[in-house]
Amino acid sequence: MSHNNRVSVLDNGYVRLVDVMGSDLTVVNSARCSYAKESAELSERDIRLIKFLAREQHTSPFRHAIAQFEIYAPLMVARQWWKYIVGSAHQEGTGDSLDAWNESSRRYVTEEPTFYIPQADEWRSAPENSKQGSGEPVDTSVGDELVERLKFYVAHGMYLYEEALGAGVCPEQARLFLPAYGMYVRWYWTASLQSIAHFLAQRLEHDAQVEIQAYAKAILALIEPRFPVAIGELIPEKEDE
């Protein structure tokens, strides 16, 4: 569900577009700076230039447009996401594509932990021909049992966490008792348009982790209206929502 600059994801997660610097015109004018030229409005000629830049992988103009997101997602999604930041130098020869990541820490934040718990029909089987990803949904009777087991595991972890805090243990150690991978974490991600497009190209793929696909679709829904031409060219075969 979308509310202008915010899209809900999974059971308790969301993506919020915090700020944007630039537009498709920013890409055009950054490229034309070499010739001391500038466009005031996006023209068909400008659109052809964006298409050329994307096709020929002239990526530096796409790094002059920036967007900042607030993301609330399970840790398993956050860590998959981080793998595609990798210092921002994700394409040979492109240099730093501008990324910043600041995440909340349970060393300092005392808000009630929130955990991702899939519904009974959302548990997936292992794929037959791959070591990663997932296959068809498991039977809902199995899913029901898994939901109950996960809820018990979370509740027991919360009990041990609160017991440790009550015994005077510092939060940074007490958090060891929390079931980590399903726990929601919050972070700010600021990235160039090039970096955002790289993330989307990777995580909109059908074989990407389903949960991170959901977040990629949310990012796409928020960023595409701001850069419709550039996103259309950088991710020409993106999945339909």
Catalytically annotated residue among 16, 63, 203, 226: 203
Q: What is the pLDDT of residue 96?
A: 53
Q: What's the mean per-residue pLDDT of the chain?
A: 86
Tokens of 121: 């029909």
Question: How does pLDDT run across 95-151, given as a tens digit for each residue?
Answer: 455 677 777 766 666 678 899 999 999 999 887 776 667 878 899 999 999 999 999
CB 198 within 8 A of CB 90: yes
CB proximity list for 181: less than 8 A, separation 6 or greater: 74, 75, 76
* Burial (0-12, 13-18, 19+ Cβ within 10 Å), 182: buried
- Active site (annotated) includes residue 149: no
Q: What is the pLDDT of residue 95?
A: 47
Please tell me the pTM assigned to this model.
Answer: 0.85
Q: Provide the pLDDT confidence category of residue 90 given band limits of 50, 70 and 90.
A: very low
Question: How does pLDDT run across 190-210, given as a tens digit for each residue?
Answer: 999 999 998 998 889 888 889
Domain 2-108+184-234 class in CATH: alpha beta
Tokens of 231: 């996103």
Q: 29-38, 82-91, 92-101, 121-130: which has the highest mean pLDDT?
A: 121-130
CB 137 within 8 A of CB 230: no
Residues 84-93, mean pLDDT to the nearest whole number: 50
